[in-house]
Amino acid sequence: MPVYANKLPHKDEAEKIAMDVMEKVDRQYAKGLTLLRIEKQTRHYVDGGQTVEFPVLWIKMMHNNGSFNWVTIGGDGQIIEFEREVRWDYMMSRRQTEMWYYDDWVLARTGEGPQLLPPAALA
């Protein structure tokens, strides 16, 4: 049974939802955010050995401190994920901030998997 809905909110509503999330986490910090873009993307999970894909809207913001931040919204406005204070290593063309939420990065970090290619962070 799917744990998502396919009906994504309008981009204006998605931006409002994303900003509401950031304000609930840290109202003062949220004042320094500027919308960069909204992209339609897909996410997936494995259910009983079957990969299930579902659509999301990825709302990317930049903070006036130079960090990147985003909220990912699924169908019916469901919050799928969010990140804040993500830093980019421009010299290496890859993410600088650790990726503890990402299984393959954790495996690389613990020596149980290969190092990920850019743009993923070095483990």
Cα dist. 115→15, 89, 121 in Å?
34, 16, 9
Average pLDDT over residues 29-53: 95
What are the structure tokens assigned to 35, written together?
């919308």
Q: What is the pLDDT of residue 87?
A: 95
Give the closest residue to 72 by CA, choosing from 100, 32, 31, 44: 44
Q: Is the pTM of this model over 0.75?
A: yes
Residue with tokens 């990140």: 83
| Confidence tier at 100 by pLDDT (50, 70, 90) | confident
pLDDT digits (tens, 9 = 90+) for 1-19: 455 667 999 999 999 999 9
Are residues 39 and 58 in contact, defined by beta-carbon separation less than 8 angstroms? yes
Average pLDDT over residues 95-118: 90
Q: Among residues of the chain, what percentage have pLDDT more than 90?
A: 84
CA dihedral angle for residue 99, residue 14, residue 4, residue 47, rounded to 10 degrees: -20
